[in-house]
Amino acid sequence: MRIFFLIPVLSVMIQVSHVTKFFDSGATAVKDVSFEVKEGETLVLLGTSGGGKTTTLRMINRLIEPDEGSISIDGKDIRQLQPTYLRRKIGYVLQNTGLFPHYTVLENIGVVPQLLKWEKTAIEKRSRSLMEKLRLSPAEYAHVYPHQLSGGQQQRVGLARALAADPPILLMDEPFGALDPLTRINVRQEFRKLDELHNKIVILVTHDVEEAFELGTRIGLMNQGSMQQLGTPKDLLFRPANAFVQQFLQPKQFELELKTLLVEDIINWLPDTTNGSPDLTLEPGNSCWEALAAGINESVVQYNGQQKLVNGNTILEAIARYKKAL
């Protein structure tokens, strides 16, 4: 009798392999870039202007063709797929939302499902559902036009339109770059909370370091067309691959460390205490930034069955000891 064991395999949905792109002048726009992205991941392509981020993104949906290398989705070379078919599987969000000015909000969101010949009732139901998730009241905004919306509202409509047909891949090119700082933060937070993203690949381009570290499962830092480092936010912060990575992050290093490290990362270096009762409870996913804000005055914290003393000094000392232990 034979016994077979089923081993679950995570399929790689997007594979970019040794991709190079030249400008018409002969200069290199993207040089030998490779990465893989799996379902449920958000890969952020970060870097300064002209680093090759947008060119790399646009090669994935064949708006630009690579000169060397290959790109595959679910093991299929995208050059073997019809561009129209490919793009219907990919949601695309731009900094300039590209909304149709003579379409209402509801009509703009429903464009791709309509092209795919969805039933009218299904299109409206899906569009209204996305509006609610993105805090655009259907009763108030369904039948207004883009020029009647604020920049943040227009960006929410653009995001809803990209998600409307439930594509497995979402490409985003500086999606929040044109928004004022406060609106940008609010829209990013709403984006992070979308349950729509749990089963998708998201590849996002930005030059905003904080945005990259807030949204990225992994970050690819690019410069002059080359991938300088690809890894988790912690990898880039605590194990920079070269001097460029270190210098690029240095102005925001301290703040990024506080926002990236979780309390559970430093729990072993926080002092135990038996005095007093807990003033607050931290969750495993709380960042050191959140803990610092909550425990800026000396507090006793109940964490995973342990009582720890949290204040500005203990958090900073614990982070320093964490870094030494790496």
Cα separation, 20 vs 65, whole angstroms: 10
Which residue did the predictor score with more confidence, 85 or 200? 200
Q: Please name the residues in contact with 235: beta carbons below 8 A apart, sequence gap of 6 or more.
A: 229
Q: Judge contact between 314 and 291, C-beta under 8 A.
A: no
User: Are β-strands 201-206 and 169-173 bridged in parallel, bridged antiparallel, or unpaired?
Assistant: parallel
Tracing tokens 């905003």 back to the chain, one arrives at 208
Reported as a single tens digit per residue, the pLDDT across 47-59 is 989 999 999 999 9
pLDDT band at 6 (very low <50, low <70, confident <90, very high): very low
- The secondary structure element, H or E, covering residue 220 is strand 218-223
Most confidently predicted of 179-193, 245-259, 277-291 = 245-259
Q: What is the pTM of this model?
A: 0.89
Domains of the chain, first to last? 13-252 (3.40.50.300), 261-325 (no CATH)
β-bridge partners, 37: 14
Reported as a single tens digit per residue, the pLDDT across 73-105 is 999 999 999 888 888 889 999 877 789 999 999
Which residue did the predictor score with more confidence, 7 or 109? 109
What mean pLDDT do residues 18-23 have?
Answer: 96
21: tokens are: 């792109």
Q: Please give the pLDDT value at position 3.
A: 45
pLDDT band at 219 (very low <50, low <70, confident <90, very high): very high
Would you put residue 98 in left (φ > 0), alpha (ψ -120 to 50) or beta? left
Instruction: Give the mean pLDDT of the chain.
Output: 89
CA angle 196/178/106 to nearest 5° reads: 50
- The secondary structure element, H or E, covering residue 68 is strand 68-73
Which residue did the predictor score with more confidence, 292 or 18? 18
pLDDT band at 2 (very low <50, low <70, confident <90, very high): very low
Reported as half-sphere exposure (CB side, CA atoms, 13 A), residue 249 has a value of: 30
Q: Please give the pLDDT value at position 4.
A: 42
Greatest Cα pair distance in the chain: 70
Q: Please give the pLDDT value at position 8.
A: 42
Reported as a single tens digit per residue, the pLDDT across 229-280 is 999 999 999 999 999 999 999 999 999 999 999 988 999 999 988 776 666 6
Q: Judge contact between 224 and 247, C-beta under 8 A.
A: no
| Whether the predicted pLDDT of 299 surpasses 80 | no
Q: Judge contact between 34 and 19, C-beta under 8 A.
A: yes
Reported as a single tens digit per residue, the pLDDT across 118-171 is 999 999 999 999 999 999 999 999 999 999 999 889 999 999 999 999 999 999
What 8-state DSSP symbol labels residue 272? B
What mean pLDDT do residues 219-227 have?
Answer: 97
Q: Please give the pLDDT value at position 235.
A: 97
Cα separation, 263 vs 239, whole angstroms: 20
